[in-house]
Amino acid sequence: MRTYTRGAPTVFFIRLLWPLLTPVPAAEVEPTGGIPFMGGNYDGHPMLYFGRGDVEELQYAAAGTHREMARRIREAGDTMLEHPEEYLPPWSPAEFSARWNEVYGNNLGVLSMFCLLYPHRAGALDLAKDYMERMAAQPSWLVKDAPWDEVPLAHSLVGFATAYDFLYEYLTKGQQERFLQVIGNASRLMYEKSYVRGWGFQYLHNHQPTNCVALLTGSLVYMTQGYLQEAYLWTKQVLSIMEKSMILLQDVTDGSLYEGVAYGTYTTRSLFQYMFLVQRHFAISHFSHPWLLKHFAFLYRTILPGFQRTVAVADSNYNWFYGPESQLVFLDRYVLRNGSGNWLADLIHQNRITEGPGQAGKGQRWCTLHTEFLWYDPSLVPKPPADFGTSQLHYFEDWGVVTYGSTLPSGTNRSFLSFKSGKLGGRAIFDIVHNNKYKEWIKGWRNFNAGHEHPDQNSFTFAPNGVPFITEALYGPKYTLLNNVLLFGSALSGSCFKPWAGQVTEACDSKWLKYKMGLAADAQGRVEAAMRREGMVFIRGEAHSAYNPVLKIRNFQRNLLLLHPQLLLLVDHIHLESDSPARAMSAFFHNTELPFESLKVDDVHGAFVTHGKDKYKMFWMDDTNSSNKGMVGYWSYPRGYPYNGSNYVNVTMPLRYPHTRVAYIFFGPGMDVQSFSLRGDDQRVDIYLSTKDHTYTVYLLTGEVTSKPLFAMVLLDHQKIAFERAAAVADDPPAEVEEYVNVMEDNLQHVKPVFQQMERHILGRVLNSASFRKTAERLLQFSDKKKTEEVIEKMFDRSKKQNKGKGGRRANLEEKLSESLPDIFAQMEVNEKNERQRTSKRTYEESPEEGDADSRAFMDYPDGQRNRKGGFVKGRRFKQVPMGGTARSEGVSGTSSYIRLFLLLNTATFFLLLAVLLTRFQRGRSLHTQRCFYAIVLIDCFILLYLYSSCSHVQC
């Protein structure tokens, strides 16, 4: 018995101790991304993204681990210093507001970061101050011709407030006060407009995070300067909008954004700032958000070979509007933690286009450099995903987009293919609207904005060898013919180009897609299959629901078969009802850069583009083996669009009842197609292709009910490749987030404790000073005037009594002062709620279109009954928000110091007991005595584990 009890406890205790010695994965220890919660404990400016004590560390990083990013910041700053006349805002208000002016706010952020990292750079601070003086001199940051659009104002506000925070210590007292007034005026206007403009209630649209983060940035600066009541309302309004968006975003299961990659980076530029700021200042964490966990794929799976272009679905440029290096390092540091984000950011930067199509816009190229610098984690060694270097098929089920061959080095047979067929606004938004989900917040399409989408269901792009052959037409008019899809010949009323009828969402006289009402509100396509077999790719989409039902189109089925990296077969299957008025179909194919030229070989018509010395060709034929000549040309865009137009080839073919099939082949210079023919029946169409090296026989089953469980089968020489129906795409939409209203309200409860902590700190700083009364009046400026005077007199009396007391009672007086204060935030909320109800009624009466918005959603200021242990919201209990701050703040530093002390003492005690156990209790002690001692050591071990867990939690 003694032998067993002598060795086993020692092994047991060592195993208990082992977790203390083994590092825990960062994702488990730091669910908040490692961003410390400030808890309202600030020591002045800067405070938005980092504290005063972090500045020296950032300057060291600029010379070391972050030197590459610092070099880009320095280049931007030096460029502005060398050519100030090109970058400084004009003094003249007329000139400032004459055009879209986001460039001024965008460049100010990086300029202030440049000054912070290199404070001794000659002329830098003077340039930044001059820059801010010029912006402060403007009566308005809005654009004269678009006074209804606050987006330019938002860019100016976020840049100006960020610069104010970064450079506060370098500003004169007069500048500090004057610039703060400018920030307050701009924020106040943004707050007022958030109740009546679309960005306040149209969720997941790029304007919403852009404007909300501007207002949040301004309110945080205003809060730090002691204007708590207004800043509190502004902050609550931002969170009431954005936290709803974060909940709705959980329905987007593929990490995509329905406005496409370019506008997606516009959204995430601000959305990621929001996530960082609310975690740092209000302990609201979104770093385990399911959409965020999938978002890397949206950036990684949409890049064409060569790393310079992206899928241009919806309004787009050639790649990204903002970043995406900043967004990628953010994802790596706070979500991925595997080096893939840093790797892709490096890759994109190395391959950046500096001149010509695809170069970053002058107004956007620098504006994310400071956040990229702040979010970069050099400990994450750049590492590509495991499948990098091989062509992969990826399906974005919410977006309705399929990509193949993304993010590859350019070269022969490095080809890219994309296909789009999905629900208007994406599956999540479409289903929310049509299934009445989140009905407490959502009232149909009014709460969303699909204006940047295109009439593009069943569209595709193809880049053999990475060379864009068939492309999207980028940011242009919302015409069906500017997308790679079909129009149908019919004298339909409402068509933009009679007698041709396009998709029902096309807009004839507007820059924005139709989506709010009528047939357009229900438009959708769907991806039915997306699979890869033996190096071949098969994709099928159905888009008859995107066209007017009067056309009586039963099926518009588009099939894509990538037979070889340089050989794509496309087959359109049109099934008409017997009384369909459609008599012809017209297909368009675009290339934004290279013009098409006509071609004909053996009575088969085609077209080609020339890239360098290589020709990329296409031919077409219907199931009667006839081929009509196509029309090639250039479609010019009206003024007001960022691009001039697009080259196109237009192929028109007759329609027959009930079926018509038209096949197109697209191939690169490495292929030599020698023959091409097809024939079909009610169930299928057979296509025969031969090249110099191979023969392809494709059996495509197009019927709704088929004799075989296949979509298609390909005979490559003597090899058989089957695409089974069993592998069809399954639609599995997510359920509504449970208790979504309460989830949002719980997060809103994080705000008030922070402001109450700020209130205590502000009063504590001015105790016994001449400015005490003035500070108290500023805190209570929006409260009841009569009660305010009474409260100030009481606080002032206590402050004077403190002069006669002992200095050690200062903290106790702060507590008493805070107890004597009325709940200034609750009073403000009640007053504001009543005012907003009156405003909402007036808005509805004056403009039913705007008043019909669900404005009530923004007037809820939930603040249930509170006690010391927790609070209640609609009968649901939530945790009290912990008011700890960073390691530098007083509350957390005190707690962590005690925990650290007890941890060290208990660790020493544990090892002392363990040493006594191993040396003094090995022999001559009774079994009962040994067991008692083992129990003591075991209890001490559990205490040690508890202290270790607590220390990890507060990051001591």
Q: What are the pLDDT digits (tens) for 447-480?
A: 999 999 999 999 999 999 999 999 999 999 999 9
In terms of Cβ atoms closer than 10 Å to its own Cβ (0-12, 13-18, 19+), residue 829 is: buried
| Ranges 67-76, 563-572, 868-877: which has the least confidence | 868-877
H/E run at residue 212: helix 207-224
Question: Catalytic pick from 42, 164, 222, 475?
Answer: 475
Q: How far is CA 45 from CA 55, 56, 174, 602, in A?
A: 11, 14, 16, 75
Over residues 654-672, mean pLDDT: 96
Residue 319 has pLDDT above 70, yes or no: yes
pLDDT-derived band at 870 (thresholds 50, 70, 90) equals very low
Least confident interval from 152-161, 244-253, 657-666, 751-760: 751-760
Please, which residues have CB within 8 angstroms of residue 325's CB and are 6 or more apart in sequence?
Answer: 345, 348, 349, 368, 372
Q: Is the pLDDT of residue 367 over 70?
A: yes
Comparing 374 with 496, the larger pLDDT belongs to 374
Q: Is 637 a catalytic residue?
A: no
**Which one of the listed residues 227, 263, 479, 740 is annotated catalytic?**
263
Q: What is the pLDDT of residue 892?
A: 43
Highest mean pLDDT among 127-141, 780-794, 887-901 belongs to 127-141
Cβ neighbours for 83, distance < 8 A, ≥ 6 positions apart: none
Looking at per-residue pLDDT, the higher value among 444 and 860 belongs to: 444
Reported as a single tens digit per residue, the pLDDT across 623-634 is: 999 999 999 999
Catalytic site includes residue 263: yes
Residue range 260-276, pLDDT digits in tens? 999 999 999 999 999 99
Q: Which of 155, 205, 207, 590 is catalytic?
A: 207
pLDDT at 855: 29
- Is residue 475 part of the annotated active site? The answer reads yes
pLDDT (0 to 100) of residue 768: 58
Given a cut of 70, is residue 386 above it in pLDDT?
yes
pLDDT (tens digit per residue) in 510-546:
999 999 999 999 999 999 999 999 999 999 999 999 9
Mean of pLDDT values over 733-758 = 95
For residue 74 the two structure tokens come to 């320095």
In whole angstroms, what is the distance from residue 351 CA to residue 939 CA?
59
* Sequence-separated (6 or more) residues with CB below 8 Å from residue 647: 590, 591, 592, 593, 594, 595, 596, 609, 632, 633, 634
pLDDT band at 490 (very low <50, low <70, confident <90, very high): confident
Percent of the chain with pLDDT over 70: 82
At 929 the pLDDT is: 75
Question: ω into residue 468 within 30 of 0, thus cis?
Answer: no
Phi-psi sector, 949: left (phi>0), alpha (psi -120 to 50), beta = alpha
Q: Which whole-number Å values give the CA distances from 443 to 30, 201, 736, 856, in the listed order?
A: 38, 10, 15, 12
DSSP 745-786: HHHHTTHHHHHHHHHHHHHHHTTTSTTHHHHHHHHTTTS-HH
Residue 153 CB partners (closer than 8 Å, separation 6+): 140, 141, 142, 186, 189, 190, 214
**d(C-alpha 39, C-alpha 755), whole Å:** 9
Give the chain's mean pLDDT. 87
What angle separates helix 173-193 from helix 124-136, to the nearest 10 degrees? Answer: 50
Spell out a b/e string for 213-250, using b for 16 or more CB atoms within 10 Å of the CB, else e.
Answer: bbbbbbbbbbbbbbbbbbbbbbbbbbbbbbbbbbbbbb
Share of the chain above pLDDT 90, in %: 72
Q: What is the pLDDT of residue 815?
A: 56
Structural contact between residues 293 and 335, judged by C-beta atoms closer than 8 angstroms: yes
Paired strand residues for 423:
524
Helices 124-136 and 102-117 meet at what angle, rounded to 10?
150
User: CA-to-CA distance for 219 and 236, rounded, in angstroms?
Assistant: 10
Res 12: pLDDT: 47
User: How far is Cα of residue 393 from the mean position of the Cα atoms in its chain?
Assistant: 23
Amino acid 776: pLDDT:
67
Cβ atoms 218, 187 nearer than 8 A = yes
The DSSP secondary structure of 699-724, one letter per residue, reads EEE-SSS-SSSEEEEEEETTEEEEEE
